Every structure is written in structure tokens, then in C-alpha cells.
Structure 1
Amino acid sequence: MSLPRRALCGAADIKGWSSRLVPEQMRAQQSLVDVVHAACREAGLPEEILQNSGDGVLIIPPSDIDETRVIPDLIRGMTMALRQENRLLSEAARIRLRLALTSGMVTPGPAGFGGGTVIECFRLLDSKPAKAALEDYPSADLAVIVSDYLYRDVIRHGFRDLRADSFWATRSEIPEKDFIADAWLYVSDRKGGPGPSEPCPRCG
């Protein structure tokens, strides 16, 4: 039996997946996997760390990674891969992703990873601020929400090319699931949305 371990935990899903026709859903799923695989390669991560979940994926890297390198490279790699994927697609077919990141104890199980950290990651992904970010920033292909712990432990120190001032504080709440947490948001392109000094109207 595999033992629990401390790890970076990421979850990504597709905006508007359920509103697509079935063939378009299949195409979007393939795009998601291709984009995340490309981002993993950019970050030096093995592609087999992915666990599929319908319109999304769970990303659990090895525990011995350098988060100060992997996190910036993963976000940059996902942004670049999305730009390439969308280059020849119509607006209706465009792939836009949400990515949630946190870290903590994860537990391998018969059907994949579980534990409080995985639950927190999916709660962040499903929260109103993460969903609202892509509505309020129409030019962004990627919205990233990170736990307060991960922001303060890694991102705020400005490692590599990921600037802490590109993130803004928010509060993630899902009352029906008894979830509330401080978090931080980032979008890949702010064009057409609130500026850095302006509040995001629906992001919490």
C-alpha cells in the first residue's frame, strides 16, 4: 500500500465544456490533455502524473520537485500551449482553462489520489472567483487560482518570471460544501478586463 506524501497538487478544467456538443467535448478533452502534457514538459514533469476526470485533470507531481521552478514553468507552459492550440480555432471552439494549485498531503488509492489537499484543490477550481475570472477577462485563455499557503510560501517571493503582483487576493466560498478559503488569482491576459489597480467585479 502506498503511503501518504506531501506534494504539489493541481487541477485543471475546461470553461464551458458541458455546453458543447459531444464531438466538440471530445475535441476539447483532447486539447486539454495536449495542453497539460505540453505544460508538464515545459516544467520538466513526467506526463504520467495526470489523472483524468471527465472535463478536467488532476496533476500530482513527484514530491521532490523544486516548486520555485516548476510552478512558474507550468503556468508559462500552459499559457504558451493554449495560445498555440487556439491559434487556428474559431471563437466558439476556443479552449479556455481554469487551473487550481495548492500543496499538502496526498494519499494514493485504488482509483487515484485523495485526501484533504485534493479536495481543497477541486474546491478552489469550482469556486466563483475562478469561474468569474474568465468571464471578466475575455482575452485570457487561462485563469489560475492558488491557495493562500502556496502563494505566501512560493509565489510572493517572485521566483523566475512569475510576478507576485500579477496575482490578486480573493475569497473562495462554496457554502453548500462548507468551504471557505483565502486564495490568489492570476489571468494570462488582462486585456479587456479590470486593470491591476481595479477590483475584478465578480472575482470576490
Structure 2
Amino acid sequence: KWRGTFTLHKGRRVVVGSFDTEEGAARAVDRALIALKGDGAEVNFEGDYGDEIIVRYDSVDQFLEAKAKAKAASKSVRVGSFDTTEGEACAVDRASILPPGALLLVPRKSSGFKYVCWERQKEKWRGTFMHKGRRVVVGSFDTEEGAARAVDRALIALKGDGAEVNFEGDYGDEIIVRYDSVDQFLEAKAKAKAASKSVRVGSF
């Protein structure tokens, strides 16, 4: 399991919990940090939580007490049904930091695709995922499907044909360059972006 834990400036260690995925642990830590430190907290997925209702706490003891009560109550709490495990995990994470009786609200915009989230500030869909402990930001896109397909190609580039993608079977005829590392992938991505600004195809 992946464990989420952090230490506050006052020296108190906060154990958020254990999770099946690295990203799930990271997002649970983010929400706990916001709950205790507010919107200025340094989080892993900056900008992802603006539309969420996260209850704030004045102390670690208050937070841990609410978390324990929520865990005990969660045996009889239904947070919803989801098409993806990522959606389910996020909903459970949100429910786990709400005190008993609090209203659980789903973000105004959420994605049905894996590794895609809504950027409220830019009003775009962002593609991002974790690979070998590294966070890979694919980019921001006007459409949800565009972000999902860009993520798919990045996953195949780094993980090969066995990567779990959103549109399985859609890329068999495409030539997708493979990369041995995240750094190699990001370097090629940056070069391609720079080159696109100076290429003129012509007029027809």
C-alpha cells in the first residue's frame, strides 16, 4: 500500500491513511493539507481542488477526530457509483475528510476518463498521470476527449502496448515513439512544442 503522511510546522505528524495507488495517496494528502492549512497549502496536484468542498479544521486533533468518526460511519455510507476506479477513489477520499453530517458535493466538472481533470483557472481539461514515482503533465486541452487521447498516447509512449488507456484498441495503426524514461519523454515533448512555433507549412 501507499501511505500518505506529513508533518506540520508545529511538529505534529499526520497519518492520512494507506491507499492502493500512489496517486490516490497523494490526492488524499492534498485534501488533508488543504483541510488543515487552507488554500495556500503546497499540494501535489495544484489547481485540482478549486471546485471541491473541503471542510477546514483548526487543529490536528479536530481533524483526526472527524476522520475517525467518518471512518466508523463509512461502513454504512454510500458515496455513489462510478465508471472508473479513479472516480471511486476520489469520492471516498473526499468523504473520508468530512465530519459526520457534512454535505458531500461532487465538483461541478469531473471527468469520466482516466487521468483527466478540469482546470478551473484555465477552463481547460488537463491530462496528468504518475509513472515510476514521477508526475507527468501531458498538457491542457479544449476538450475532455482530446485530453484523454493525449494521455493515452503518452501512456503508450512510456509504458508500451500494455498500458491501460481510455480508448483501448484505437492506436494500433499509429506510430507512437517509445521512451525509456520520463525525462526523455518530456525533453522530446518540449522540443516538439518549440519546433511547432517556427514551422510554416505554406499556403495553398
TM-score, normalized by length of structure 2? Answer: 0.26
Structure with more contact order per residue of length (Cα contacts < 8 Å, sep ≥ 6): 1
TM-score, normalized by length of structure 1? Answer: 0.26
Mark the structure with the bigger radius of gyration.
Answer: 2
Which has the larger share of strand? 1
